[in-house]
Structure 1
Amino acid sequence: MSRTAQANITTGWMFLERVMMGTVTSVPCCIFFFINVTMLFTLRSKAVFRESSRYILLYNLLVADTMQMALSQLMYLLAVCRTRLSYPVCGLLIMLANFTNEISPLTLVVMSLERYVAVCQPLRHATIITITNTALAIIVVWAISSLNVLVRVLLLLDFPFENLDTLQMKDFCGTLVLFLGPMSDDYDKAYTCFVFVSATVVITCTYIGVMVAARSASTDKASARKARNTLLLHLVQLGLSLLSTIHNSVIGAISKIVTRPILLIILNTLYVFLIMLPRCLSSLIYGLRDKTIRPVFLYHLCCGLRLKAEVSP
């Protein structure tokens, strides 16, 4: 067989591999994206959702998760297609991904505190958890995430870009590519550790507080049980978010001990379950568990077929 024929076969296999990798991840991504967009539309479709702090916080969480999902899939497809970006463009995508990624655990903390107040301070809930205070909490969450991005940008400025022959990247765009110095890497690890440890402590404390309150005779047992289950789910979501941050490290370690075909299967599987699925989990949890959201969510999810919304406008 001639070298030209061998080259054509190799090129064909590489193209087929890229198409398969793109399809395997794009299909579930489109499904998850549709679910999230449907939930976002649901949360804006009724006044009962627009005027409730709990659902406003959920809306904020889903906005961040949906943006993160779209950015992750875009960067994944760029990597699969071997598209090389310039450092500024890649940096912009990475900073947007980091920005949206940090909003999720911080929002989960605020949502857990809201559930804690609802169960442990029911008489003061309407006074503490107001629309104004909720909006202020969301602004603080976005401000902290913005500050984190600003610090990362400042750390990048210390890198001697003038020593580069070109701003065109030699590899595909990824988070690890922009750890251009030990300081950036150390800051990323320290910030991630601080956020997730703090979030875990807060959610765990609220869970313990709800459990203690549930034993009180004056506490609504059903409400306390639902709040406890919700806080447990928040811990699960937090754990999945943490796993998504170490996705690249896990892939790097696995790549040293398995063959390429097996690595591709593992890579796609971990990507779908650690990156994509957690971003859709909130929609599924609230869309199926919450009795107020469920009929409206299913109505829109099924495009209005055979289902009738039970929540008045």
Structure 2
Amino acid sequence: MLRQALSQSNVTQVGLVERVISSSITSVACLVFLLINAVIMFTLRRKRVFRETSRYILLFHLLLADTLLIASSQVLYLLHTYRISLTYPQCGVLVMLTIMTNDISPLVLVVMSLERYVAVCHPLRHASIITARNTGAAVLSVWILSLLQVVTLVLVLLRFPFDQLETLKMPKQCSSDEIFLLPVLYHCRTAFTALLFTFVCLLVVCSYIGVVVAARSASRSQRDKESARKAQKTLLLHLLQLGLILLSCNHFAVLVFFYSAFPRMIFLRIQAFLYVCFFFLPRWMASLIYGLRDRSIRVVLTANLFCVRTENTF
């Protein structure tokens, strides 16, 4: 029923004005997001202290994955809006890139949460555990794990008899539902997503509990308690971000509800709005959490945004 409802909304004739409105809303939000991320990533690569500090290394890779995800998702959205069909290989590249980068974000958030846990609960061992080398190894593991899932999906997809098709041109617009020609692909993806978010949420919650206990420790100094409280807020924002990402994985069910409750024209505008909320907002929170709340980044970021020269103090 879910796929039928969405396919019916695609087949129905959509006015050019509505297409332009929906694509304009999402494109403007996408460009703003990409601009902010590009400036923050430039800032993180410009200063040596950012390139050698674990938390900033993690932030760079989180923003990189989110940037690739939003860019590929926006391309798919525009293709869907203007009913542009691709071949199966072209669609496969876009969908697999979206899947891989979508899985990287929660895994990097886990590493970032563990880094905050070690910094608050084991401050004396933080410098020896959370090194730039160990952080690089953790980031590499995250990218490899996400890539392995994509490779597995591609290998299973290649079992489909494409040589028996008259043409590789897709009959419908490119999407994960259309590229997953074998039912086992959908089940594998669903199972992996469920396991991933269960694992991620458990680790972030455990990190949060550990930080809360540390914040209430009577033996800690006022400075340590303040650091623990800041880590609590960061981890709470991570949990909110994970919740929004998880919600984005089930946004089709929300779309079906609005599709049955509102006229077609209103539904298209709601669809564009929900797309911005589900896909852009969770990723924008990463820029907010670490980009704007961090004083060190904020000073350099403001200078870069307004093209102001600053002294090289790093």
Which residue in 2 is equivalent to 1:93?
Answer: 94
**CA RMSD after TM alignment:** 1.8
CA distance in 1, matches of 2:198, 2:64: 23
User: Which residue does the alignment assign to 1:36?
Assistant: 37
**Which of these residues, 264, 267, 271, is aligned with residue 267 of structure 1?**
271
Alignment partners' CA distance in 2, 1:38 and 1:189: 34
Residue 142, structure 1, aligned to residue 175, structure 2: no
Match of 2:26 in 1: 25
Deviations 1:147-171 (A, max 9, x none): 1101111221222323433211111
- 8 Å Cα contact 1:286/1:294 also seen in 2: no
Shifted more, 119-128 versus 255-264: the winner is 255-264
Whichever residue aligns with residue 145 of structure 1, its letter is S
Alignment deviations for residues 194-216 of structure 1 (CA, whole Å, 9 cap, x no partner) = 00010000000000001111122
**What are the Cα deviations for residues 19-45 of structure 1, in whole angstroms up to 9, with x where unaligned?**
222111111111111111111011112
Distance 1:254 1:71, change over 3 A: same
**1: CA distance, partners of 2:160 / 2:254:** 27
How far the C-alpha of 1:287 sits from its partner, in A, is 2.1
Q: Give 2:93's aligned amino acid.
A: L
Q: Deviations over 1:79-115 (max 9, x none)?
A: 1111100111101110011111110000000000000
CA distance in 1, matches of 2:285, 2:297: 15
Deviates more, 1:35-44 or 1:153-162: 153-162
- Residue 146 (structure 2) pairs with residue 128 (structure 1): no
CA distance in 1, matches of 2:100, 2:147: 6
Query: SS at 1:273's partner residue?
Result: helix
Check conservation: 2:18, 2:268, Cα contact below 8 A: no
Does residue 1:240 correspond to 2:241, yes or no?
Answer: no
For 2:43, what is the secondary structure of its paired residue?
A: helix
CA distance in 1: counterparts of 2:33 and 2:272, whole angstroms: 15
Shift of 1:272: 0.7
Compared CA separation, residues 151 and 249, structure 1 to 2 (3 A): farther
The alpha-carbon deviation at position 46 of structure 1 amounts to 1.4
Measured after TM superposition, the shift of residue 253 of structure 1 is: 4.4
Distance (whole Å) between structure 2 residues aligned to residue 207 and residue 309 of structure 1:
36
Q: Normalised by the size of structure 1, how large is the TM-score?
A: 0.91
Pair 1:277 & 2:290 matched: no
Structure 2: unaligned runs, 5 residues or longer: 1-12
Cα distance in 2 between the residues matched to 1:168 and 1:293? 47
The one-letter code sitting in structure 2 at the alignment partner of 1:248 is F
Q: Give secondary structure in 1 for the equivalent of 2:195.
A: helix
8 A contact 1:237–1:278 mirrored in 2: yes
Aligned partners of 1:287, 1:86: CA distance in 2, in Å?
39
Shift of 1:312: 1.3
What is residue 8 of structure 1 aligned with on the other side? none
Give the fraction of aligned pairs with identical amino acids, expressed as a percent.
Answer: 52
Question: 2:228 maps to what in 1?
Answer: 224
* Match runs of 1:162-311 below 5 Å: 162-216=163-217, 217-218=219-220, 220-304=224-308, 309=310
- The answer to whether the Cα contact below 8 Å between 2:18 and 2:265 also exists between their aligned partners in 1 is no
TM-score by length of 2: 0.91
SS at match of 2:123: coil
SS in 2 for 1:232: helix
Moved more, 36-45 or 283-292: 283-292
Match of 2:162 in 1: 161
Query: 1:226-271: CA deviations, max 9, x gaps?
Result: 1111111111111111112222343244323432112101100101
Deviates more, 1:155-164 or 1:39-48: 155-164
Question: Partners in 2 of 1:75 and 1:302 — Cα distance?
Answer: 32
Q: Extract unaligned runs of 5+ from structure 1.
A: 1-10
Q: Is the 8 A contact 1:46 1:312 kept in 2?
A: no
1:84 is aligned to 2:85: yes
Q: How many residues align?
A: 300
Could you tell me how far apart the structure 1 residues matched to 2:234 and 2:278 are?
Answer: 20
What stretches of structure 1 move > 4 A for 4+ residues in a row?
308-311
Deviations 1:178-208 (CA, angstroms, capped at 9, x unpaired):
2222211111111000000100000000000
Q: Secondary structure at the match of 1:172?
A: coil
In 2, Cα distance between the equivalents of 1:144 and 1:270?
A: 29
